[in-house]
Structure 1
């Protein structure tokens, strides 16, 4: 989803300020400790802009995503 579409669909004064680009993961469960990595809506930061900037190739992105999915 593009940044403008995300902001239009999910805007809320309680939504954390995200640095884009970002990959978010979702959960049906409410988060108990949402101050560090997510919010009470079940959206968590999966990969930050900084993490993505450190990757030089699409293959590195695929490997990084697969590694994060394992944990």
Structure 2
């Protein structure tokens, strides 16, 4: 089992710079809640980094363009991003939807949600 985190942002240095500027200049219009919760303007948030490093859950992080390229199979449903999926072998299931991300207001709440849901899997 692996948790697959997919950001609502594209990969690459130029995109990272633009995203950082967007977070600083217009945070209310930034559309990647996963990015907002796990990263500050330039670096990973310490509380998230510690959780990620100390967790015994296998986690993988992709940008939406990387996800679409890797998982372009026709059987996959269209996902709204950001999203967290559970990957078991070749099967993907929703774990946290983009709509649920909108209700999260801190990394601590995201971490608690993950911890609360993991025993179910």
TM-score, normalised relative to structure 1: 0.77
Q: Which residue of 2 aligns with 1:50?
A: 99
Q: CA deviation at 1:3?
A: 0.4
Greater Rg by CA: 2
Structure with the higher fraction of residues in helix conformation: 2
Q: Which residue of 2 aligns with 1:61?
A: 110
Superposed, 1:1-71 pairs within 5 Å as 1-28=62-89, 41-71=90-120
Distance across 1 between alignment mates of 2:91 and 2:75: 13
- With a CA cutoff of 8 Å and minimum separation of 6, indicate the structure with the bigger relative contact order: 2
TM-score, normalised relative to structure 2: 0.47
Secondary structure at the counterpart of residue 20 of structure 1: coil
RMSD: 1.0
Runs of 4+ aligned structure 1 residues displaced above 6 Å come to none
Structure with the higher fraction of residues in strand conformation: 2
- Give structure 1 stretches of 5+ with no counterpart: 29-40
Counting matched residue pairs gives: 59
